Structure 1
Amino acid sequence: MRLQDQLFLQRESALLDAARLLFRQQPWDRVTIAEVATQAGIGKGTVYKHFPSKEALFARLTLDMSQANLDELRALHAAQPPQQAMRQVIRHHFGLILGDPILAQLCQHCDRPAFQERLEAPYREQFLQLERDYVSFFGQLLQDTFNDRALSPADCQSLLWGVEACVNGVMARIASGGFEHWANPIALNAYFDSVTDFIIAGLHGQAASICHPSASHE
């Protein structure tokens, strides 16, 4: 790799690290490009050579963190017995979100159609590819969980809708600060366990309905 390319990557990494640090010190949506540049020790004009807008910076952070989480979930999946993988992956995913609430907030922000429409085409394509990768990963999890049933791609997609709704609900709960403001606070670990149980039970019930449609009418 050329020295110029190495320096470019080093500056980009420094900017991303600076943004992550600032996002933990103040509301992330109020952080300016100038503040990121100052924190990274890089001229403001140079920032735009890496990220043409603050939206692009948000997108890159979200894409990087989401990809890292997906890689970790893939590794966990590979290390688990097939029948246990789904539960372990879902529960671990909740822990990853809790470990970085900024990710939950950024993911929700960057998932908005209006946000992605403002992005440059390469970023939009990366979000589409990330979505395809997550769908493919959870589709494989479903095939492993229900390896005694012939689930079609359409069946897997239907099952994933419920998983996505529950995961997004957990993400929103973490992004909003958990349950500390409730009159009777709820322990997040107990909440995660309960939601995971709910998802697993729902998947089994829905899969049974798909494979035996008449059972839902008896």
Structure 2
Amino acid sequence: MRYQDQLFQQRENALLQSARQLFQEQSWDRVTIAEVARHAGIGKGTVYKHFSSKEALYARLVLDCSRQHLAEMQEISRTAPADKAMRLVIRRAFELLHADPLQAQLCLLCDRPAFQERLEALYRDQFIELEHQYMTLFSGLLQNSFGLQLSPAHCQHLLWGVEACVNGVMARIASGGFAHWAEYIELDAYFDRVTDFIIAGLQGQAAALHTAPALSE
């Protein structure tokens, strides 16, 4: 790699790390590009050589981390016993988010329509491609875990339910868990119960859809 390219990558990494740290300290809408640049020790004008906007910077944080999570879950899918892979993937997804609450917050932020509308097409397209990759993983897990042949449309309908549950877990993690509740709820037990709920729902709905007429794509 050329020296200039190494410097470019170093500056970009410094900006991403600074943005993460600042976002942990205050809400994202209060953080400015100038603050990120100052924290990273980089001129404000240089930031725009890497990211066109604050939204682009945060989108990059989510995309990078989500791709790492996806790679780990794809490996689980490849190596785990077929009847256990779905459960292991879902449970691992919760563990990864729990280990990095900021990622949960950023994912929820980047999923907002208003946020997506402000993104340039380059990043919107990357989110769409990432969604397709997760859908491919999920579809494969469905077929292998339950031994059923389901259409892409049926898989999509099942994914809606999983997405709703996962988004709920992300919101719970992003809000700090159950510390403010009168009744103590341990997060690992919560993740287990939600995973059980998802698996049971998928099993029942997948069996029902398998015998239903094919949906139009």
Q: TM-score, normalised by structure 2?
A: 0.93
Distance 2:193 2:92 in 1: 14
2:171 paired with 1:175: no
SS class of match (1:166) = helix
2:119 matched to which residue of 1?
Answer: 119
| Alignment CA distance shift 1:183-1:41 (3 Å) | same
Structure 1: give runs of 5+ residues left out of the alignment.
none
Once the two structures are superposed, what CA deviation does each residue of 1:5-50 show, in whole Å capped at 9, x if it has no partner?
A: 2221121111111222222333343222222212211111111111
Once the two structures are superposed, what CA deviation does each residue of 1:140-198 show, in whole Å capped at 9, x if it has no partner?
A: 11111122x22111221121111111111111111111111011021111110000000
Distance 1:14 1:175 in 2: 24
1:40 matched to which residue of 2?
Answer: 40
2:159 paired with 1:160: yes
Q: What CA RMSD, in Å, does the superposition of the two structures yield over aligned residues?
A: 1.5
SS class of match (1:50) = coil
The offset of 1:212, in angstroms, is 3.4
1:81 matched to which residue of 2?
Answer: 81
Distance 2:60 2:171 in 1: 21
How many residue pairs are counted as aligned between the two chains?
213
1:151 matched to which residue of 2?
Answer: 150
Distance 1:165 1:177 in 2: 19
Distance 1:32 1:140 in 2: 41
Counterparts of 1:14-33 in structure 2, within 5 Å, are 14-33=14-33
Distance 1:115 1:191 in 2: 30
The answer to which of 5-14 and 163-172 deviates more is 5-14
Q: Which runs of 4+ in 1 moved over 6 A?
A: none
* AA partner of residue 84 (structure 2): Q
The offset of 1:79, in angstroms, is 2.1
Structure 2: give runs of 5+ residues left out of the alignment.
none
* AA partner of residue 165 (structure 1): A
The offset of 1:213, in angstroms, is 4.7
Q: TM-score, normalised by structure 1?
A: 0.92
1:196 matched to which residue of 2?
Answer: 195
SS class of match (2:48) = helix
Distance 1:119 1:191 in 2: 34
